[in-house]
């Protein structure tokens, strides 16, 4: 009987896996990511460079449902200092990339010489930031990247910009960058990816996206200065029941954090629990071979509530 019980217990553990509550904070990565946070001089300041209006809590929605109750009559972003945004070298080169992609999976991407130049310029700009320099030094110390800058740039290009099949019946239709920073639609049925606040703001400004409200635990209300939000929105006539994104951060910060998580694990799916600034979050990274399939933050608590709970 004891042997049968032990077998059942092992079976249950194997199939249930480790849920979020069992994850322990990765102190080493928390320390590193807070250092990157402090180095992120291109991060925008809430209440100064931008303002958000989180409004109401979004309803529960099943995937595939495209008509939902709107709990936010106003846009998420009430203001953004676009002049400051466009004067940041990494952001201005990032903006050049946003119109290079077919948003629908299954439609093969065609990359022009001009677009390859834009990718090259973006990576060069990112590599000149203190954020990515520090990330590079860490990865070299862990023997996950070459100390040769050219080879590290090639590695970033492979992780983020290498085209692959997301939908097997099509040509090369996706990349890590497109999925995470630009967003995609799948089979005309769902929004996949789309985890970047700048793209969110621009699509919202152009009336292509409608913010429906925030998603959070019953006792965890988001504040105007939260740097990660879980949210619900519609885009291209589809609804994303729950999405998530850093808010106000630079492209290089997000790319550095997710690159580190990607390279520090060989698992297809990796989730690390970290504390960054006053937020506790899970960082989720899923591989697509040697490239990135998806990556996103999932806010667990903000304003140091996770510290006060202990």
Which residues are annotated as catalytic? 179, 195, 240
**Burial of 71 per CB tally in 10 Å (0-12, 13-18, 19+):** middle
Q: In terms of Cα–Cα distance, which of 32, 263, 254, 262 is closest to 145?
A: 263
Task: Supply the DSSP string of 28-76, one letter for each residue.
Answer: HHHHHHHHHHHH-TTPPPBTTTEEE---SBPPP--TT------S-SS-S
The DSSP letter of residue 167 is S
Helix runs in the chain, H state only: 2-16, 27-39, 82-86, 89-95, 113-127, 130-141, 149-161, 176-177, 197-205, 251-263, 305-308
- Token digits for 119? 């990718």
Task: Supply the DSSP string of 99-127, one letter for each residue.
Answer: TSS-SBTTS-----HHHHHHHHHHHHHHH
* 3 state DSSP class of 194: coil
Q: Is the dihedral of CA 226, 232, 44, 82 positive or negative?
A: negative
């Amino acid at each position: 009987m004891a042997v049968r019980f032990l077998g059942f217990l092992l079976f249950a553990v194997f199939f249930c896996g480790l849920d979020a509550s069992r994850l322990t904070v990765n102190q080493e990565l928390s320390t590193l990511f807070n250092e990157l946070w402090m180095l992120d001089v291109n991060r925008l300041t809430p209440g100064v460079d931008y303002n958000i209006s989180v409004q109401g809590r979004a309803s529960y929605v099943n995937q595939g449902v495209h008509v939902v109750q709107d709990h936010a009559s106003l846009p998420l972003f009430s203001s953004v200092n676009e002049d400051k945004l466009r004067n940041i070298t990494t952001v201005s080169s990032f903006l050049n990339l946003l119109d290079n992609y077919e948003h629908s999976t299954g439609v093969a991407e065609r990359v022009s010489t001009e677009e390859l130049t834009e990718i090259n310029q973006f990576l060069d700009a990112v590599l000149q930031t203190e954020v990515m320099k520090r990330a590079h030094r860490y990865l070299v110390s862990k023997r996950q990247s070459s100390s040769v800058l050219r080879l590290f740039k090639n590695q970033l290009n492979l992780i983020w910009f290498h085209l692959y099949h997301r939908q097997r019946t099509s040509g090369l239709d996706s990349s890590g960058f497109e999925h995470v920073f630009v967003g995609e639609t799948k089979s005309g049925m769902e929004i996949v990816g789309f985890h970047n606040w700048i793209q969110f703001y621009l699509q919202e400004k152009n009336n292509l996206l409608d913010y429906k409200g925030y998603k959070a635990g019953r006792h965890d209300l988001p504040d105007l200065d939260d740097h990660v939000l879980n949210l619900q929105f519609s885009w291209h006539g589809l609804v994303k029941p729950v999405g998530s994104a850093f808010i106000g951060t630079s492209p290089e910060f997000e790319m550095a954090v997710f690159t580190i998580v990607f390279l520090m694990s060989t698992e297809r799916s990796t989730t690390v629990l970290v504390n960054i600034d006053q937020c506790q979050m899970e960082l989720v990274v899923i591989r697509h071979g040697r490239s990135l399939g998806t990556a996103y933050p999932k806010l667990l608590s903000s304003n140091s509530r996770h510290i006060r709970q202990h």
